Amino acid sequence: MSVSQKQRVVFCWAMLAPFLVLFVVFMVYPLIQSAALSTNQTYGPGTRTFVGAGNFKNLFHDPQFWKALKNTVIYALGSLFIQLPLAFGLALVLNSRRLRGRAIYRLVFFSPQLMGLVFVSILSALAFEKRAGLVNKAIAWVTTNRDFLETPWLQQYVMETLILISLWLYVGFNMIYFLAALQNVDKSLVEAAEIDGAGPLAKLVHVIVPSVKPVATFVILLSMIGSLQLFELPYVLLDGSGGPDNKGLTIVMYLYQNGFDLGDLGYASAIGWALAFMLIGLAAIQIRMVRREERNA
């Protein structure tokens, strides 16, 4: 190796060092530790008792965990079937070049994203209150029915409330991705379809949807991964509890309660791994679908 080549290798590792050192210490090492932790029971950091697969066995028979899983899946399905179609529809409307004020609409619909989740929770906690809250007052005003002032959002309809909040928060955000994808749709394909006499619906089904499919797959995956890790919104909204009858308990909230309220970092790690397997499984299924799609194309 010549001197200059040696110097270049030193340069490379010097440039990588700040990142790599922190990455190994704060990412790789905890990841390995988390596997070890999941086979232990702990009482706060520093004390461990080996329990083997005990945590996972308990988890499997833990009704609270299944409840948390059910709640979280309901929320994720809400994202998939309500939020994403709305985002796509809005993107289709805003994609028209002839539409005036597109930039302003885009900014307005995106704006809730600027608020961090904690701040959204505080605002929501007040907005969904009985009587004084914005939501009930607005519904009562529109319907002129004062009974709606008493709708117990945070007591009875916790998951519904969370889904409504997520619509406000994320429809505009996912719309940005869909808009970017729509702008990449091949214009000549659309024109060709028009010449062949395709109506708006046929154009949508046969030209636009197939071309935005890769981005749509990516957005669905991101949105599912995000939804299944729901934490801050219900945690702050319900004051760290699962809410009445644990109606708002999510997987990550249950992880947090076990690890930091009860001090069992081992059981918390087991919950973390259960969630990670679900997320990685989801990603694998989606990658497979994309591959098959490409082979058929």
Partner 1 sequence: MSRPSIKPKSVLTHTVLILLAIIVLTPFVWMFIASLKTQEDFFSGLFLPAGDGFLGIGWDKLTLDNYRNLFDKGFENALINSLFYSSASALFATFTACAAGYVLAKHRFRGRELVTLVVLGALIIPPTLLIAPSYELLFKLDLLDTRWGLLLPTLAPAFGVFLFRQAVKQSVPDELIEAARIDGCSEFGIFFMIVLPLVRPMIGAFMLITFLGMWNNFVSPQIILQTESKQPLSVAIAQLRGVYRTDYGLLMAATVVSITPVAALFLLLQKQFISGLTSGAVKG
Q: Which is nearer to partner 1, 227 or 246 (CB)?
A: 227
Question: How far apart are CB 32 and partner 1 at their closest, in Å?
Answer: 8
Question: How far apart are CB 292 and partner 1 at their closest, in Å?
Answer: 20
Q: Which is nearer to partner 1, 78 or 172 (CB)?
A: 172
Question: How far apart are CB 134 and partner 1 at their closest, in Å?
Answer: 5
Question: How far apart are CB 140 and partner 1 at their closest, in Å?
Answer: 10
Q: Which is nearer to partner 1, 105 or 157 (CB)?
A: 105
* SS3 annotation, the chain: CCHHHHHHHHHHHHHHHHHHHHHHHHHHHHHHHHHHHCCEEECCCCCEEECCCHHHHHHHCCHHHHHHHHHHHHHHHHHHHHHHHHHHHHHHHHCCCCCCCHHHHHHHHHHHHHCCHHHHHHHHHHHCCCCCCHHHHHHHHHHCCHHHHHCCHHHHCHHHHHHHHHHHHHHHHHHHHHHHHHHCCCHHHHHHHHHCCCCHHHHHHHHHHHHHHHHHHHHHHHHHHHHHCCCHHHHHHCCCCCCHHHCCCCHHHHHHHHHHHCCCHHHHHHHHHHHHHHHHHHHHHHHHHHHHHHHHC
Q: Which is nearer to partner 1, 37 or 69 (CB)?
A: 37
Q: Which is nearer to partner 1, 196 or 204 (CB)?
A: 204
Question: How far apart are CB 297 and partner 1 at their closest, in Å?
Answer: 17
Q: Which is nearer to partner 1, 196 or 240 (CB)?
A: 240
Question: How far apart are CB 195 and partner 1 at their closest, in Å?
Answer: 22
